[in-house]
Structure 1
């Protein structure tokens, strides 16, 4: 019996996933790998922004620190865990694309919005003078589009995506 979800191979002709993944550091490669496993387990064909958010929270302590309130973080993780058994089921079989981020059509394994977010994170790192994006770069990219699934999950957890972006920007300013 063939698998339900097509394999997401880096070596497929026309794939530019390696181009996208090249902007990620070692720590974000683990985040993407976790998001990819989560997408397959959830029965989704592509990594979306909520998969990336979930993996960021799981793997990156700096991202978790952006959510200063312990109950807020717990509520957010609760919504992300419920995704595969509850409200996230309505997302299965659909492609995440709000239209706010330029459409990326050839990003194998990523939804158009998630591919755009990874690219945005790389550009954000480049503006800072870094070769590789970090977790807060990717988090900023995920919450900048209010129509993303990550922003929707934040909203359901009672967290304002704009406030999260403000905390990220504030941390970046203090770092300089």
Structure 2
């Protein structure tokens, strides 16, 4: 019987800690990264991209779900994200998500360059606030900032503007009494 998880070639194995074991991440955000990794492996993708992260954020983080207006928006987003494994995202397979708009980030294990940059940005935002670890809304803000992100394409297809998501994040943070990005 063949294993379900594809084996990496020795040159593909990354050195260093897994991003979901990063002490700079909240427990919830570490669970998001783990969920995105499982989804990427199941879909046969080489790397976790921003669409995998968006999917896991919607599944695991209630604060991120609060960013979206209603259940209909979340349902549309999840519909597009689920379709990626059955055709919509097949054109992304075998390609690396990198817009070229940000400086190249040293590859973090299993993350596309754009997703690795978003993770780093989320951690930097959290560090600027103080000792609190990065949370899901930090990562959501980071992944929707680059118009070339696959997550932004999913938002566009669902009829949701990335700029509106950033505005909503600030509103959710203000309502919760937590400091913003």
Q: Same fold (TM over 0.5)?
A: yes
Identify unmatched segments of 5+ residues in structure 1.
none
Q: What is the Cα deviation at residue 20 of structure 1?
A: 7.9
- Counterpart in the other structure of 2:159: 158
Check conservation: 2:68, 2:165, Cα contact below 8 A. yes
Alpha carbons of 1:108 and 1:153: their partners in 2 closer, same or farther (altered >3 Å)?
same
Determine the C-alpha separation between the residues in 1 that align with 2:159 and 2:106: 32
Deviations 1:93-139 (A, max 9, x none): 00000112221233121000000000000011112223410110011
Determine the C-alpha separation between the residues in 2 that align with 1:69 and 1:87: 24
Q: What is the Cα deviation at residue 164 of structure 1?
A: 0.2
Deviations 1:30-69 (A, max 9, x none): 1111000000011001100000000000000110010022
Q: Scaled by the length of structure 2, what TM-score is found?
A: 0.86
- Counterpart in the other structure of 1:57: 58
Q: Scaled by the length of structure 1, what TM-score is found?
A: 0.89
RMSD of aligned C-alpha atoms?
Answer: 2.4
Determine the C-alpha separation between the residues in 2 that align with 1:127 and 1:170: 19
- Counterpart in the other structure of 1:87: 88
- Counterpart in the other structure of 1:101: 102
Q: What is the Cα deviation at residue 19 of structure 1?
A: 9.3
Deviations 1:121-173 (A, max 9, x none): 00111122234101100110110111100011000111101100111123334
Determine the C-alpha separation between the residues in 2 that align with 1:18 and 1:166: 27
Check conservation: 2:21, 2:30, Cα contact below 8 A. no
Q: What is the Cα deviation at residue 73 of structure 1?
A: 1.2
Determine the C-alpha separation between the residues in 2 that align with 1:138 and 1:36: 15
Three-state SS of the structure 1 residue aligned to 2:148 is coil
Structure 1 outlier segments of 4+, above 3 Å: 1-8, 12-20
Determine the C-alpha separation between the residues in 1 that align with 2:95 and 2:14: 23
Check conservation: 1:5, 1:40, Cα contact below 8 A. yes
Determine the C-alpha separation between the residues in 1 that align with 2:127 and 2:145: 17
Alpha carbons of 1:92 and 1:64: their partners in 2 closer, same or farther (altered >3 Å)?
same
Check conservation: 1:5, 1:44, Cα contact below 8 A. no
Determine the C-alpha separation between the residues in 2 that align with 1:104 and 1:69: 35
